Amino acid sequence: MSPPIKPQPVHAVTVTEGRKEDFWKRHRKDEKRRGEVWTAILADRERLLKDAGYGDSFQPPKRPDFLRRIHPLFVLKGLPHMFRAVYTVVKDDDYGGPIVRFEWFGDHAEYDALFGYR
């Protein structure tokens, strides 16, 4: 049996520029659910700071162009209303080490279509 993987702490949790605004715009007609999802993502911030591998690592069958060169990818699935959040862990000199950077937010149907699961 393999030893457990140690949690990997990070220095910050950030969002790639424009991704939150894109999420807000795509779900503007569903303000209540959108707000609940965003609150849940913010609540996961402390856990992600302590362990960047908190989400599930994944290799989707298809990657959109804006994620093609980003590795590794992780997904948070336990968000309200079956929403998903995709993030990566990168070294960032401004923060002095590794950070979690969110790259995409969306609902289950968007996730399946974007990543080739349907």
Q: Is the pLDDT of residue 55 over 50?
A: yes
Note the pLDDT tens digit of each residue in 63-100.
Answer: 999 999 999 999 999 999 999 999 999 999 999 999 99
Average pLDDT over residues 104-117: 95
**CB count in 10 Å sphere of residue 101:** 18
Local structure of residue 110 (DSSP, 8 states) = H
Which pLDDT does position 7 carry in this prediction? 76
What three-state secondary structure class fits 58? coil
**Half-sphere exposure of residue 93: CA atoms within 13 angstroms, side-chain side:** 0
- Predicted confidence band at 1 (pLDDT cuts at 50, 70, 90)? low
Q: Is the pLDDT of residue 2 over 70?
A: no
What three-state secondary structure class fits 86? strand
